[in-house]
Chain A
Amino acid sequence: MLRIAGLTKRFGGLTAIGDVTLDFAAGTLTAIIGPNGAGKSTFFNLISGAIVPDSGQIVFQGEDITGLSRAAIVRRGIGRAFQVASFFPSMTVAENLQAAVAAHRGQWADLGRGFPRQGVRERALEVAEMLGLHDSAHVLSANLSHGDQKLLDIALGLALEPSMLLLDEPTAGMGPEERWNMIEKVQRLWRLQNLTLVFIEHDMDIVFGIASSIRVLCYGRVLAEGTPDEIRANPAVIEAYLGTPDPEDDA
């Protein structure tokens, strides 16, 4: 579905992403892990068109999307959510989602008819329901709880009916209980919406609990890739990142 070949991005003397080659198969739920500064967020920014790579190629569904604009990449079906929840604080939840649905339907430059047009309101509510936000539909998004703001951010990405969704630390800043609540929602979304989902996560319990495959980045390079079991047993990963496993923790 998404094929990345020889991707490189340097910031001054620092190589944030160095010669990364990765494949993401359709329908997978992939976790990207790695220590701080490993280049995980940069990697997302490269795929979604926020920054242009120095070299390498990004191929999505058979099409080379390297160097395309953010909007052009969104139109091809890659949605994303951010580490710090990103939404429109002066609007209610419903208005946020209506705006996203209208944008997805290509109405964003429409100067002719009133907003929202036929069906936009209904579709926005459907998206709110997928993430359990329908009860707060008329709450000003700036006043939502931190967890709900993260959900709204994901819902905005989802309103684009993407085939691939990139989630940058969906559980950032959450307490343990809230985390699992969020992860259950993400997992359900992945199952029901037939999505290819890639997420960045620091909580290893979550990563090994739900991911169908894992990619480990370290200093901008791919340290390892494979199923959770393969990653757990990988000596390079253990040394660099996971630490020595407990004796009873069967690899």
Chain B
Amino acid sequence: MASGMVRTRIWRDILAGCLLVAVLAIVPALIPARAFQDFVIRCSSMALFATSLNLLVGYTGLSSFGHGMFFGLGTYSFALLMQRTGVALPVAFLLTLLITAVTAVAVGAICIRLRLIYFAFVTLAMQMLLHSVVISWVGLTGGDQGLMGGIPRRSVLGVDLGLQYNLYVFSAVVLVAGLLLMRHIVNTAFGTSLRMIRDNEVRAAFLGIVVWRVKLTVFVLSAVFASVGGMVMSLFVSGAYPELINWPISGDAIFAIVMGGIGSFLGPAVGTMILLLLNDVVTRQTEYYGLALGLIILAFALGLRRGVLDFITERLGGRPAGGIS
């Protein structure tokens, strides 16, 4: 009976994902604006990134301030593989996942020993370190200029991602696939172990859970999904730039989580949409983007005291933030 309910839940999620892709595929026929497609591509990239960070922040209680290093590593590693080697796009994609995972094991092994603010700051320091390597290693990364010169051989199974519409549908498919996989992760027994550690690490250990293994695993998994977001961004900007690996990008993901809702699976994705919309609207009106965004964040943190999706869930009589979805 239990597994039957689990299966229904999975099919419902998959169906919702397919519907989203189908709807998005049709929209450009009705609204031909290129800006909309750009928006969806950027949203897909950042939503994957923010949702992956929420595996750490929301589900495990590990507040990483340096998660952007894996997003940035995704953009750079993918762009370099495409520009400097002759491998096909899917191979570069998989190699980038591998590079990210190996890096995350090394970084995670150092960071997960620490807790709370110490964990936050060491992850931040790690990202700053990676950023300065990118800036100084001009021969490999192009330094401040970034990796210009575009992404060649953009074809996947005969589909040319050089065409705007194709990249748009591709990014939506990658987003949905990534979200479904992460959704699956939080719904497994491993996902329950994450919540146990967040709620009460000591109790989890006294129930036989090897806490460091769970933490390291989720650290690597979330890094890999952030890297996928980075690769979508790399395809969108046709290269890789230092801003994509610098620490404020980690802040963007945290803003997205705070605004969308830390306790809902889709909260960070909703928050990403709000963040990017604000970004586009506010920058058109004023150059004081940071000030405006800061005020809005304050309103969320002090006024609403939760993200949009958490707020709606609670209004509909759901579990308070942080519950099992």
Determine if chain A interacts with chain B.
yes
Contact across chains for B187 and A86 when beta carbons are under 8 A apart: no
* B162, chain A: closest CB distance, angstroms: 35
Contact across chains for B209 and A103 when beta carbons are under 8 A apart: yes
Contact across chains for A110 and B203 when beta carbons are under 8 A apart: no
Output the nearest chain B residue to A109 by Cβ-Cβ distance: B190
Chain A residues within an 8 Å CB radius of B184: 114
* A76, chain B: closest CB distance, angstroms: 10
A20-28, A87-95, A231-239, A240-248 - the one binding chain B: A87-95
Output the nearest chain B residue to A116 by Cβ-Cβ distance: B2
Contact across chains for B208 and A88 when beta carbons are under 8 A apart: no
The reply on B323 being an interface residue by CB < 8 A is: yes
A67–B205 alpha-carbon span in the complex (Å): 15
Measured CB to CB, the residues of B under 8 A from A are 1-3, 6-7, 9-10, 184-185, 187-193, 195-196, 198-200, 202-211, 213-214, 217, 319, 322-324
Contact of A108 among B2, B187, B208 (CB under 8 A): B208
Contact of A104 among B193, B207, B319 (CB under 8 A): B207
A77–B6 alpha-carbon span in the complex (Å): 31
Q: List 29 A-B contacts (CB under 8 A).
A: A74-B206, A74-B207, A74-B208, A75-B208, A79-B206, A82-B203, A89-B199, A90-B199, A91-B323, A91-B324, A102-B189, A103-B196, A104-B207, A104-B208, A106-B208, A108-B189, A108-B208, A108-B209, A109-B210, A109-B214, A111-B190, A112-B188, A115-B189, A115-B191, A116-B2, A116-B189, A120-B2, A121-B2, A140-B319
Chain B residues within an 8 Å CB radius of A114: 3, 6-7, 9-10, 184, 187-188
Measured CB to CB, the residues of A under 8 A from B are 48, 50, 69-71, 74-75, 79-80, 82, 86-91, 95, 98-100, 102-104, 106-118, 120-121, 140, 156-157, 159-160
* A6, chain B: closest CB distance, angstroms: 25
Contact across chains for B207 and A90 when beta carbons are under 8 A apart: no
Known: A90-B322, A90-B324, A118-B2. A70 touches B206 (CB 8 A): yes
Chain B residues within an 8 Å CB radius of A82: 203
Contact across chains for A88 and B195 when beta carbons are under 8 A apart: yes
For the complex with contacts A70-B205, A88-B199, 17 further pairs of A-B residues with Cβ separation under 8 Å are: A48-B206, A50-B202, A71-B209, A80-B206, A87-B199, A88-B196, A91-B324, A104-B207, A107-B189, A108-B209, A109-B214, A110-B188, A114-B7, A114-B188, A115-B192, A118-B3, A121-B2
Output the nearest chain A residue to B186 by Cβ-Cβ distance: A115
Chain A residues within an 8 Å CB radius of B204: 103
Known: A48-B206, A74-B207, A95-B324. A90 touches B2 (CB 8 A): no
* A47, chain B: closest CB distance, angstroms: 12
Chain A residues within an 8 Å CB radius of B198: 90
A113–B188 alpha-carbon span in the complex (Å): 6
Chain B residues within an 8 Å CB radius of A98: 192
Contact across chains for A160 and B208 when beta carbons are under 8 A apart: yes
Chain B residues within an 8 Å CB radius of A48: 206
Output the nearest chain B residue to A79 by Cβ-Cβ distance: B206
Chain B residues within an 8 Å CB radius of A100: 207
Best-surrounded residue of A86, A90, A157, A159 (most CB of chain B within 10 A):
A90
